[in-house]
Amino acid sequence: MEVPRELYSGHPVNKRQHQSGECTEQGELALLRRISKATTADRGIEGRGVRLGIGDDAALFQGRRGCETILTCDWFLEGTHFLLEKHPAESVGWKCLARAVSDVAAMGGMPRCFLLSLAFPKILSGRWLDGFLRGLWRASRRFGCPLAGGDTTRRREILINVTVVGEVRSGRALLRSEARAGDVIFVSGLLGEAQAGLDLLRMRDGARRFLKNPLLKKHLFPEPRLALGQWLTRERLATAMIDISDGLSSDLPRLCTASGLGARIDSSKLLKASPLLPERFPGIHPLKLALDGGDDYELLFTVPVSKARRVPGSFEGIPLTAVGWMALEKDLVLIGTDSSESPLAAGGWDPFRSKE
Amino acid sequence: MEVPRELYSGHPVNKRQHQSGECTEQGELALLRRISKATTADRGIEGRGVRLGIGDDAALFQGRRGCETILTCDWFLEGTHFLLEKHPAESVGWKCLARAVSDVAAMGGMPRCFLLSLAFPKILSGRWLDGFLRGLWRASRRFGCPLAGGDTTRRREILINVTVVGEVRSGRALLRSEARAGDVIFVSGLLGEAQAGLDLLRMRDGARRFLKNPLLKKHLFPEPRLALGQWLTRERLATAMIDISDGLSSDLPRLCTASGLGARIDSSKLLKASPLLPERFPGIHPLKLALDGGDDYELLFTVPVSKARRVPGSFEGIPLTAVGWMALEKDLVLIGTDSSESPLAAGGWDPFRSKE
């Protein structure tokens, strides 16, 4: 078994690494400054409510009056959520933040700051870390969500955990649990695009051949639907909302369970929210991708029938599609294009459902 | 390379795990309920500002007026921070929260809630997870810090990341950066006890022989100094504070760097804050333990000379010892019992200082 170094820290047989006794910038502190420099270069973090950023025991954040604080955290682990050989470092940096920010979007909130917990092997301290921080910085600017603090350590594999702090006006957060029977189910964007992008990435030389393919871009650099989520909250249109991170067939049941309801999904309508696949794409049916594909970070929201007409066909260029309705019967049914009914089974990602 | 399952989620060649189409409690949801039940069994989480707990996209927290929010996160990784074979599951659960809560104590704040990110292998889903949740629940009650949310996944090794949200009256947080030259340096408790406890644990059968040894208890179930930190903030006695998690010789330089100062540590005084070792303990000098031992989670704080007399000899049974003073010269000096001066070198834990 590998002897954990931390557990031996301070033991007198350990060699002292520094004998100078001077307070020089070194080790973890130097890394923190590098992270801090790379992610807060051109913005005043105070502007987002962060009173005290990196470098102390903890960060200080000042919430706004009339708002509740949104708290969410997400794993992003090498080998589980991304592949070191396939995913560019910049995508890893972008996506670890985008995933957690998407949870804030799913509440109708606005991100305010984030904490980064990062563990990685020394060999990746150079180019890889630079690329990672560049992607993180781009995402941080894009989402208006500066780095406020975190924790770093060495590890054989890359381990990332991101905590995002957001805000929403008190009482206005959109929960999973407030859908009502009869509500129309809407989804944003085209579902399954990110999964198709991953399939391209996994092809030999896929990344190079399809570098500018929008499907690959959706997989590598997803855009949480912040503006849409905030608009739905402001307009009081939606009753419930969730982000589609593990696939419609996995995330819709979560909203159903929380609301104590079932759902009916209309295949012919869902097809309109399915991805446009490039020629010579491996034989996957777009409907399958739309049902089971993960990593889209689109929003699924429910709207009372009386308000459904007020939902536009697109929002800031993102299509909004009615794909079904909430039902009192607590099962999930897929209605085929021939009007046949079949159970809608969870085919997306749930690490604890597998028998492995 | 291991094929990451998540990356294959939703691929149509995957076998469907559920064909029923019903909204039953399963997989991650079932685990979340188990965690939730184990950690919020007998307390109203709303009482701590948590408006919405486990089960939605994110948690909702309502800060109190006149307070700033403290944000901190900490890794707790198998093989790096604990050993599966040596550390009881209950200690892992307690300690992962205690470590992060200690950062709140070091700001003079009060913990309000926490997020748990947990990854572990399926084989540990039974007894180990029960023990872990029991330790976590005990710590949660002890620190008044309920679980508000988190993220869970499967992994070969146990990975834990804890985010703690705390509060402190606006403008009253004790930072690392506000120490002034001449300030007296105080430490709480006896430093190096946890390190001595780890040494006992690492002995063959150490855990069994020394099960009730207070040193072992300090290593396995550390107590963040919440009441002391809050008292120091309230009384406006301290100018700067940090918790000693990596050893005095590693944490004091951090406070010095942040304050732009150096420090002088008096060996004869530090000896009074060194651990009382049991008979037949391996030949480690208590002073070495007090300087370099990690995991104590005691507080180090600086007090202006004019106020130093108001610091009592102990606080709620925890000794408070003046061990040195802050100096304009930016080096760290250890003054021997014979009045000789030598550089105080960092001998504690810093994962990025090692040459590995």
Q: What is the pLDDT of residue B35?
A: 81
Of A12, A195, A353, the CB nearest to B288: A12
Token couple for A304: 């009372």
Q: How far is B319 from chain A (nearest CA, A)?
A: 22
Pairing of strands B341-343, B159-169: unpaired
Contact A292 B168 (CB under 8 A): no
Residue A291 has pLDDT above 50, yes or no: yes
User: pTM (2 decimals)?
Assistant: 0.89
Q: A164: nearest CA in chain B? A: B58
Contact A22 B330 (CB under 8 A): yes
Q: A28: nearest CA in chain B? A: B352
Q: What is the pLDDT of residue B38?
A: 67
Name chain B contacts of A57, Cβ cutoff 8 Å: 72, 103, 106-107, 176, 241-243
Name chain B contacts of A58, Cβ cutoff 8 Å: 70-72, 103-104, 106-107, 109, 166
CA triple B217-B265-B282, angle to 5 deg: 40
Contact B28 A293 (CB under 8 A): no
Of B14, B73, B342, the CB nearest to A150: B73
Q: What is the pLDDT of residue B314?
A: 97
Name chain A contacts of B83, Cβ cutoff 8 Å: 1, 4, 7
Contact A51 B62 (CB under 8 A): no
DSSP state of A82: B
In 3-state terms, what secondary structure has residue B273?
coil
Contact B5 A80 (CB under 8 A): yes
Of A22, A28, A242, the CB nearest to B351: A28
Contact B22 A332 (CB under 8 A): yes
Token couple for A288: 């399958």
Q: What is the pLDDT of residue B263?
A: 97
Q: How far apart are CA B30 and CA A253, in angstroms?
A: 13
Q: How confident is the model at residue A274 (pLDDT cuts 50, 70, 90)?
A: very high
Q: What angle do the packed helices A127-142 and A27-39 form, to 10 degrees?
A: 40
Q: How confident is the model at residue A42 (pLDDT cuts 50, 70, 90)?
A: very low
Instruction: Report DSSP letters for B57-93, one per residue.
Output: SSEEE-PPTTEEEEEEEEEEEBTTTB-TTTS-HHHHH
In 3-state terms, what secondary structure has residue A86?
coil
Of B55, B81, B331, the CB nearest to A6: B81
Name chain B contacts of A233, Cβ cutoff 8 Å: none
Q: A72: nearest CA in chain B? A: B58
Q: How far apart are CA A200 and CA A215, in angstroms?
A: 8
What whole-number percentage of chain A has pLDDT above 90?
Answer: 68
Q: What are the pLDDT digits (tens) for A65-82?
A: 999 999 999 999 999 999
Name chain B contacts of A349, Cβ cutoff 8 Å: 5-6, 9-10
Q: What is the pLDDT of residue A89?
A: 96
Residue A299, by phi and psi: left (phi above 0), alpha (psi -120 to 50) or beta?
Answer: beta
Contact B348 A9 (CB under 8 A): yes
Mean pLDDT, chain A, rounded, equals 86
Instruction: Report DSSP letters for B195-227, one per residue.
Output: HHHHHHHHSTTHHHHTTT-HHHHHHHS----HH
CB pairs under 8 A between A and B: 383
Give chain A's end-to-end CA distance (angstroms, integer): 24
Q: How far apart are CA A54 and CA B72, in angstroms?
A: 10
Of B21, B83, B153, the CB nearest to A333: B21
Q: How far is A111 from chain B (nearest CA, A)?
A: 12
Q: Determine the residue among B13, B20, B23, B218 to mutate to test chain A binding: the one whose Cβ has the most chain A Cβ atoms within 10 Å.
A: B23
Of A9, A80, A347, the CB nearest to B294: A9
Name chain A contacts of B113, Cβ cutoff 8 Å: 71
Name chain B contacts of A53, Cβ cutoff 8 Å: none
Q: How confident is the model at residue A1 (pLDDT cuts 50, 70, 90)?
A: very low
Q: What is the pLDDT of residue A27?
A: 67
Q: Which of A172-186, A229-243, B271-285 has the lowest mean pLDDT?
A: B271-285
Name chain A contacts of B343, Cβ cutoff 8 Å: 19-22
Contact B168 A60 (CB under 8 A): yes
**ipTM exceeds 0.85:** yes
List of chain B residues with pLDDT < 70? 1-29, 38-47, 204-211, 280, 282, 348-356
8 Å CB contact between B60 and B50: yes
Contact A332 B26 (CB under 8 A): no
Q: How confident is the model at residue A158 (pLDDT cuts 50, 70, 90)?
A: very high
Q: Which residue has the higher pLDDT, B160 or A355?
A: B160
- The mean pLDDT of A286-299, rounded to a whole number, is 94
Contact A70 B79 (CB under 8 A): no
Instruction: Report DSSP letters for B24-55, one per residue.
Output: ---HHHHHHHHHHHHHSTTS-GGGGTEEE-TT
Q: What is the pLDDT of residue A351?
A: 60
